[in-house]
Amino acid sequence: MLWLTSSSSSPSLLPRPSPAADRPAPGIIAGGGGGGKRLTPVPSLPFLIRWSWPRKVDAKCKSFVSVTARGNKTAATNGYGSDHLPMYDLDPKLAKFKDHFNYTMQRYLEQKHLIEKHEGSLEEFSKGYLKFGINTEHGASVYREWAPAAEEAQLVGDFNNWNGSRHKMTKDNFGVWSIRISHVNGKPAIPHNSKVKFRFKHDGVWVERIPAWIRYATVTASKSGAPYDGVHWDPPTSERYVFNHPRPPKPGVPRIYEVHVGVSGRQLGVGTYREFADNVLPRLRATNYNTIQLMAIMEHSDSASFGYYVTNFFAVSSRSGTPEDLKYLIDKAHSLGLCVLMDVVHSHASNNVIDGLNGYDVGQNARESYFYTGDKGYNKMWNGRMFNYANWEVLRFLLSNLRYWMDEFMFDGFRFVGVTSMLYNHNGINMSFTGSYKEYFGLDTNVDAVVYMMLANHLVHKLLPEATVVAVDASGMPVICWPVDEGGVGFDYRQGMTIPDRWIDYLENTGNQQWSMSSVISQTLTNRRYTEKFIAYAERQNHSIIGDKIMAFLLMEWEMYSGMSNMDPHSPTIDRGIALQKMIHFITMSFGGNSYLKYMGNEYMNAFDQAMNTLDDKCSLLSSSKQTANDMKEDEKVINYTIFS
């Protein structure tokens, strides 16, 4: 049996010093090597953690139990109408909604069949970025844009002094405008790094918009509140970044470090991709994380949104550098053995008109728009535009967006944010999900969005079988992480929001001595679907974005600013706060799920993170086949649990 031991300086995980000791006296164990010393007792420390693994495991903690939940059963997908899916065996309550699953699967298969019939394959369909936007084709620059509501259209920019009279576009039967501009003396007529816009007329009024498939967008820094400009990104071969390292093997269990590059720098100002690659990535590797999660990569005009109000879906956020700089970061991560996941915001788009995709909505019907019309077209909580997932060109746009980031930048997977908003016609707004399956499967379900996510997951895993795709869903909808061909939505992991919110709720609203140990286990750490993989995390970036206090501040308050120096003795508040934070992170990592995520910050816990991650490497905590809470002592605030590895 092990105790979790910690101090404010050098945390360690130590062997239990004596089997005769039934439980530790109030206090904290600290030290390194084979022993430790007892520090001043801290009676207000809410709980201590003991955990163990079975004695039959050898010294290397190799797994001796192998459990396969799904067995060898598979679901038929041709002429779908299966009365029995493997998921019904593990969760018989799902069988009551067979009609719903059959209908959703039929819609998915019909959509997939239509794409294969008219586009050749889903893979070909997802190459839209090679057709739309500005691309080089046979000695010419060819620009295509889907805008069926436009009456006339022109391509304007620096290359023609913003005079579109000589560059009028033609429209086909599907609402796609196009123009071919021959190269001049072997050079593109539209220079690299020059500004361009799509000018079109609707109801007799001319407007200018950034091309929907633009790959770079910039803003004039000297102009406060200025809109972004679309920039044609097509560097010469000598300036293009060439990847030098292959993707690393997929880790058995992702240990994820979530980061916003722009706020990761040491100096004042916005951090850059290259600074992050050179200064931060080696430190992350040293702390034994194996995956990084990049936020705010898609271009967004509102920096305060942390990337969640996307204006230009194919453009790299220019605040931190160019597309070539981002490629350098990802290649550097791969060289260190780190997989790289990207935040994908396909739940909604920014409502910006001048520099966003919303500018293509000029009041036309839903068949000719990227978005739903009426109230359904707006997320009232986020004030964002909701995609019309039933639309052919919307599917092309979003699926191609995924492939673009995989093919061009070598991302190893995605985290889909805002999935709850996609799953339901009510967008999850003003809903308190009770767990009743009627809340998940019925008329409130946005089947079009579910079908899109099934197509997306099928595509990503077809292109890259080792990809990791994560869903951020607050509703707890079942089968989100079940394979598509077995009736599920196809994500690999669910990132639940319950655990960090519960920890903050404990710290803000409940006195430490009133914490319920059974509630910590049952309502916080194990309140999840055991049939689907779950990413656990103790803190999330929203607590910083929305102005809430982070965990460290709740624990240590103002002493954080004056009492954490190694030059002075630590106060009981600092010692207790850091020790409790370590306990919360450790029990969350070891008992809260099948993967672990940490948001950037708490860098003073680097040594502890390294110890946790190394212990997981050695003893397979996150991939354990079974976890058992053996004893919860409410009076002593002790949790005793076993991990079968």
Domain definitions of the chain by residue range: 83-120+418-495, 132-239
Map residue 441 onto helix, strand or coil.
coil
* Span between the terminal Cα atoms of the chain, in Å: 14
β-strand partners of 642: 52, 628
- Taking residue 399's Cβ as centre, other Cβ atoms within 10 Å add up to 24
| Residue recorded with tokens 């018989």 | 92
Residue 320 clears pLDDT 90, i.e. is over it: yes
Lowest mean pLDDT among 226-240, 423-437, 473-487, 533-547: 533-547
Strands 12-15 and 37-38: unpaired
What is the pLDDT at residue 39? 33
Q: How far apart are CA 160 and CA 260, in angstroms?
A: 37
Burial of 587-625, coded b for 16+ CB within 10 Å and e otherwise, reads bbbbbbbbbbbbbbbbeebeebbebbbebbbebbbbebe
Give the C-alpha separation, 117 to 138, whole Å: 27
Q: With a cut of 70, say whether residue 20 has pLDDT above it.
A: no
216 pLDDT higher than 60:
yes
H-only helix segments in 93-178:
98-119, 122-125
Instruction: Give the length of the chain.
Output: 645
* pLDDT at residue 70, rounded to an integer: 36
- Tell me which residue has tokens 């207000």: 44
For residue 96, give the 3-state DSSP assignment: helix
CATH code, 132-239 = 2.60.40.10
pLDDT at 223: 73
Higher pLDDT, 343 or 85: 343
Query: With pLDDT > 90 as the criterion, what percentage of the chain qualifies?
Result: 68
Instruction: Specify whether the CB–CB gap between 342 and 405 falls below 8 A.
Output: yes
**Contact status, residue 355 vs residue 345, Cβ threshold 8 Å:** no
Q: Of 208 and 225, which is predicted with more confidence?
A: 208
- Picking from 157-171, 455-469, 515-529, which range would have the lowest pLDDT averaged per residue? 515-529
Region 594-614: what's the mean pLDDT?
A: 86
Query: From CA 458, how far away is CA 465, in angstroms rounded?
Result: 10
Instruction: Note whether 190 and 232 are within 8 A (CB).
Output: yes
Q: pLDDT of 265-310, one tens digit each?
A: 887 888 999 999 999 999 999 999 999 999 999 999 876 666 688 9
Give the global pTM: 0.88
pLDDT above 80: residue 140: yes
Three-class DSSP category at 465? coil
**Which of 583, 509, 499 is closest to 538 using CA atoms?**
499
